[in-house]
Amino acid sequence: MKEKASRYIILASTSPRRQELIASLRIPFEIMGSDADEDTPFGWSPDMIVETLSLRKADAVYRKLSEASGSAVIVGSDTIVVLEGDILGKPADEQDAVRMLSGLQGRTHKVYTGVACVDAETGRSIVRHRVTSVRMKPLSEEEIVSYVRSGEPADKAGAYAIQGLGATIVDSIEGDYFNVVGLPLSLLSDMLEEMGITVLG
C-alpha cells in the first residue's frame, strides 16, 4: 500500500487544458511532451485513431524514462472532432479554421477522446476512449471570422474550445463535457484505479 500511495502521473502532453484537468485530480504529476508522430492511415475509424495516438504518445514518453520513474503512470490522450464521417483535427491556418467552423455551425458533431495509461514499472497499458455529441449554434460568417480572429481555434481539434470563448457558440452537449475539453476525468480515474492510483481514496 505504501508504494501505491507514492505513485504519480506523467502527463504525455504540453496542452494547458489537459494540465489544468489533471491538476484537478490532486495527484502529483509531471509534464513530459511526447513529440510522437500523429499521422494515421486513411480509413481508420475515429476510435482507432484516438486510441492509437493516445498510446503512441504515452509509449513515446515511456521510452524516454529512466528506471527511477518506475512508480509513475504515464497518461496519453488524443482528441478529434467527427462530422458525419469526416475527421477534423487542428486547423492548418485561419482559413482552415473558418472552413471547419462553417461546416460545424447549426449541426451536431461527435468528439472522440482517447486515453492511454502506461505503467512505467511494468510497461502494462490500458487504452480506452469516450464519445460526446456537441451541437453548434447557427452562426453568421461575421461571427465565425470574429471567433477565428480571437486566436482560440488555432491549436484545437475542430477549431473551437468549449471551455473558452467557444462556449458561446455551442448550443448543447450530450455526454462528458471534459471529453470535449480533451481529457475525460471520469474515465481516466477508473483507469488510474486499475493502475493502483485511487483518486478518491
Q: Which residues contact 120 (CB under 8 A, 6 or more apart)?
A: 10, 62, 65, 69, 70, 71, 72, 73, 74
Which stretches of the chain are DSSP H helices? 2-5, 16-23, 46-64, 94-104, 141-149, 177-181, 185-194
Dist. CA 197–CA 90, nearest whole Å: 32
Q: Is 78 a catalytic residue?
A: yes
Which one of the listed residues 39, 47, 78, 176 is annotated catalytic?
78
Dist. CA 54–CA 41, nearest whole Å: 15
Q: Which residue has the cell 458525419?
A: 84
**Catalytically active residues, by annotation:** 78
